[in-house]
Amino acid sequence: MDYLENRELSWLKFNKRVIEEALDKDVPLLERLTFSSIYQSNLDEFFMVRVGSITDEGIINKNKRENKTNMTPSQQLDAIFTAVRRMQFIVEKAYTQTMAELKKYGFEHVSMSETSEDERKFLELYFKREIKPLISPVVIDKEHPFPFLKNKELYVAVQLLSKKNVKVGIIPVRHEHFERMIPLDGTGKRFVLTEEVILEYAGLVFKNFKVIDKTIMRVTRNADIDYSPNCDDFREFMTEAVKKRKKLAPVRLELSDEFSRVALDYICKKLELKNERVFYSRIPLDLSYLFSLHGLSNDKALKYEKREPQNAVSITETRSMLSQIKSKDVLLSFPYESIEPFIRLLREAAKDPKVTSIKITLYRLARNSKVIDALCSAAENGKEVLVMIELRARFDEENNIEWSKILQNAGCNVIYGPEGYKAHSKLLLITKKSDSGFEYVTQIGTGNYNEKTASLYTDLTLMTSDKEIAEDADNVFYGLLTGTFVESTNKLLVAPRCLQNKILDMIDDEINFAKNGEEAYIAVKINSLTDKQIIDKLVEASCAGVKIELVVRGICCLVAGVPGYSENITVKSIVGRFLEHSRIYIFGTQKRQKIYISSADFMTRNTLKRVEVAAPILSEKLKKRVYDMFRTLMSDNVKARVMSNDGVYAKKASDSTVRLNAQEYFYDEAYKNAQAKNERRLKERAKKQKSRKKSEKNEK
């Protein structure tokens, strides 16, 4: 179909938008380097997860075709590798251009050929004293088999000339033993990288051989774990599965420079990789060190303006969170507003003698989690604490395994997601005794219970005392406890049985309004759109005359503006300082609007293969707030890119003379609101003091 795009190629377009930020002149220089590092980190994970999965699929069923563009696994891989190679020029340009501009601020990544004579003497001595004693080189032969190359770690590979034949030598570059950046001045801003020094002096390692060619290399391994348990203890199974991941097959080999074909063919043979999976880069193969450059300068011009989450205007700091939520629904918007009111809610619940139980789903957590501390305190205080912790949260499996042990030791009842289905919902239910029976506080969020990402990702969290929502939430937890799924709900949308079908029904409602000549509208903000049933229904709505506005940060398999199909659909993607992570669903014009926030993207894995929750915004005041937020995102003319009907994203020239960066706008509003709230508090305090003095004077 003309309106469909391959999922993997759409994701690569998203990562292209990320690297474009590394070339944006409006982005401070050190932040541009951060985007270069994010691009590379994203691509690493893409190869580990998606390329790994497609590779496995090609082995199992090479003729299986994906449902968007009818491509086989091999066709998808060919298209992916071609797209990645085409992007490499932009990636290299972004890095070299930014480093060149940083030179006037003292930053310089010096190549070995650019070092002075004195510097080379220093580096050779440094290599002999600090590096050489800690490295373990190997010459591959019958007695020394090809070593296991760890995922994403750097190695120096050399071709050696011996008296008998050509051999290959490998030197691990182990950063746990020495610093990645070797400073060439007192500030540390002028530096060489350790792997470049090892590459330069590799001849000193293999003394009995002549080095005739050399390169830095890096292997990316498949991370597609089989989550089907084969033991009674799921936590034990996941512990073993994570260990096995580290040894899965390579899916990519990166080299820092052209390398001897004979030696490269030998290495590829040992790794069981075809040459099509070899990629070259003229910039460092691992850019993670770039984050450390931020700490080397206090120049404000090189970094984003410092921003900190503000106290929410709707929250009273001196009043119990439980009582505030009882009187009105509360909505927090991260990172613009602080996560502290939510942490305070958990702590209050842990201590309140009338709170009988706390139930929560956990997916990803901060390293020093205040959420875990509060839950452990609650259990130790005699509360019934049920924690559903998802051990299959990709790349957080080890962390969650450890958290599950800590929670269990504290007395929490710990369970895991249902077999075959991840529990991705962000759901909390607090039950409290009252004089009239029981009261409930339910929290539904779009993002994780993670204090760190709450300052980096845009997310929404709703806290409500609505009893029907609490009943739905309780049914979700009952399903998680019993291995069953929610079949019907009062107000929440709950995947896998009660989300996709209800979304389709609400789209149908808008189609019917349009067919009856009434104005019809759908707006959605998500991370990804791949669910073909929803895509086809949106196209049907477009053909019926429904106006559809989509803000999709990453993958979007629906091509907007295609004549005869998606003419009434607009797709925007916002890539900026903060990761756009919140999910918002809006159905209907303002007079009959239904608005939800959710943890679920419109991906089949979310709508049909996970436990997900979407919550309605019931307060008219909060509905207006969320709708206004969406309109601001649609009005962004700085960081938003618009998809054209050929699937290409581009920033569009705006008719408005006012530049609107939605993320900066939301932060400005948060600061203004917090300042106004503080000023009101000071005025009230002054008024009370004046009244007290007047009263004291009258008493005298």
> 613 - beta bridge partners?
494
> What secondary structure does DSSP assign to 28-80, as a single string?
-HHHHHHHHHHHHHHHHHHIIIIIHHHHHHHHH-TT---TTT---HHHHHHHH
Whole-number Å distance between alpha carbons of 312 and 203: 61
Whole-number Å distance between alpha carbons of 608 and 655: 41
457-464/594-598 β-pairing:
unpaired
Q: Give Cβ neighbours of residue 97 (< 8 Å, ≥ 6 apart).
A: 23
CB 349 within 8 A of CB 358: yes
The length of the chain, given as a count of residues: 700
Taking CA atoms, 246 is separated from 40, 48, 149, 151, 170, in Å, by 19, 11, 10, 7, 19
Query: Tokens 């491509």 — which residue?
Result: 71
Question: Residue 276 gets which letter from DSSP?
Answer: G
Angle at 461 between CA 341 and CA 468, to 5 degrees: 105
Whole-number Å distance between alpha carbons of 296 and 107: 9
Point out the catalytic residue in the list 109, 144, 424, 581.
Answer: 424
Rg (CA), the chain: 28
The 3-state DSSP composition of the chain as helix, strand, coil percent (nearest 5) reads: 45, 20, 35
Does the active-site annotation cover 424?
yes
Whole-number Å distance between alpha carbons of 412 and 427: 17
Closest listed residue to residue 296, CA positions, set 219, 374, 190, 199:
190
Active-site annotation, residues: 424
